């Protein structure tokens, strides 16, 4: 099970918390209710983070943690920055696959880069990609405006609408 494999790779003090990427990899599909619950918790957490004046800048399944009760926590704030700081927000910071168009274009960005990356996380939860290559190619296709894979469109129509909204190329059009 995903919990057993995660337990083997974690230190004892964190045994009841597992990275979301391991959870996703261990499922061929994730129920709508679970995806809704996880997404709602991720977005509520981001709202709290952003309300505190912080941009995470490295939202990805490996930095989102789930416990046995399916509670979500966002971790690894090593690349986080203050929303209002004078730090150059045109620099390329974060995991390349999850970078937003404005980050990739070296343009000024705001907290909506985290919304973009969260849309990609939602996509991964819906798709449960079988291989790393399928995951990479599908995420790149989505980022290039080619939409989501057919199985996600068919099995998760409402989630697809949210994914497309969260990953809009123009950050001003994102929620």
Give the integer Cα–Cα distance in Å for 83 and 43.
17
User: What is the tally of helices (H) and strands (E) in the chain?
Assistant: 8, 5
Buried b (16+ CB within 10 A) or exposed e, 114-152: bbbbbbbbbbbbbbbbeeeeebeebbeebbeeeebbeeb
Strands (E), 29-172: 54-55, 64-67, 72-74, 81-82
Q: Name the residues annotated as catalytic.
A: 58
Give the integer Cα–Cα distance in Å for 126 and 121.
9
């Amino acid at each position: 099970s995903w919990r057993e494999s995660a337990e083997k790779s974690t230190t004892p003090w964190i045994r009841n918390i597992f990275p979301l990427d391991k959870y996703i990899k261990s499922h061929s599909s994730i129920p709508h209710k679970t995806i809704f619950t996880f997404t709602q918790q991720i977005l509520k957490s981001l709202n709290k983070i952003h309300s505190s004046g912080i941009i995470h800048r490295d939202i990805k399944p490996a930095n989102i943690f789930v416990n046995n009760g399916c509670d979500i926590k966002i971790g690894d704030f090593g690349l986080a920055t203050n929303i209002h700081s004078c730090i150059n927000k045109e620099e390329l910071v974060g995991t390349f696959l999850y970078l937003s168009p404005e980050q990739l274009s070296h343009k000024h960005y705001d907290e909506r880069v985290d919304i973009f990356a969260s849309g990609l996380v939602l996509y991964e939860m819906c798709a449960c990609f079988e291989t790393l290559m399928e995951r990479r190619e599908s995420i790149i296709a989505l980022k290039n405006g080619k939409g989501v894979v057919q199985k996600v469109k068919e099995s998760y129509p409402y989630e697809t609408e949210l994914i497309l909204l969260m990953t809009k190329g123009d950050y001003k059009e994102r929620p």
